[in-house]
Structure 1
Amino acid sequence: MPVTELGASRHRQTRLLWGGYALALMLAPLLWDSSLGQSLLSQIGIAIIVCLSYNLLLGQGGLVSFGHAVYSGMGAYLAMHTLNRVSGGWPLPVSLIPLAGGLGSVLLALLLGWVSTRRAGTAFAMITFGVGELIWASALVLPGFFGGEGGLSG
């Protein structure tokens, strides 16, 4: 087989494989339609997004981050605060709550990323570690926002 045909065949196999994954992801909510199944699929999707973002940072940029959970955690806290406000009377559709949490987390990432990406290598890793520790310490100091040791409820 010539090299070009081999490359085309491999490209076709790769596209077929990724198409199968996409089809499985589209059919998964139809197969697991219980409340537990939907919740589990949501959590799996969130974990996939966090892992992909870390893969971009480490795999493409070569930057080791020890504070990566800060951004996903802050998005969850902001989404929970938004949900509590919506149940208290804010005129916002419930389907937009994850968007509110995501946008708030993006704003935090822009601020902290602007500070931490000025350095690379070990300095970047230590800055992200420090940011993670700062947010962890803030969780105990600011119980009004983080809910203290018990967390938030809604």
Structure 2
Amino acid sequence: MTVSQIADILQKDQSTIYRHMNKLEETGYVEVKGEKKTHHIPEKVYTRTAHFFILVPESEDASEILEEYSAKRMEQLYKLMKKMGANITITDEVITEGRRFLAALRSELFREYEKIDEPLDVIMLKKLELFLILFRMEESEAFRERIFRFMHKLRG
């Protein structure tokens, strides 16, 4: 996409978009794919450098907005689980515990992902995550116990 296309979609001025695109390019999130001419004026065409990005803020650095969003997502997950027949009790404490549990688990799994040097789409990433969890459960009694302790807390 070009800066003018992004500016139109976001309804922001182009100078703002240019500033942000430069920062994104510097950090490696986007790259220049080519050039497009509009009315004989050349404009860079940007593309993302990965299919998706995994951003994992440290829990101490997480913003209030991110924590609120995370809590709402966790509550939504629990409600979906209940609809599917899971016998769980949803409390603020369980929501917080679930967020911490998943953050710690994902942090461990992301260390494994870093060894992979190929693009993964979200579906493949979720399947990989599931299998890594299953392998860990088979291999490690301590890991199994962590999972089971958390599941018991969910049941109230």
Fold match by TM threshold 0.5 = no
More strand by share: 2
TM-score, normalising length from structure 2? 0.28
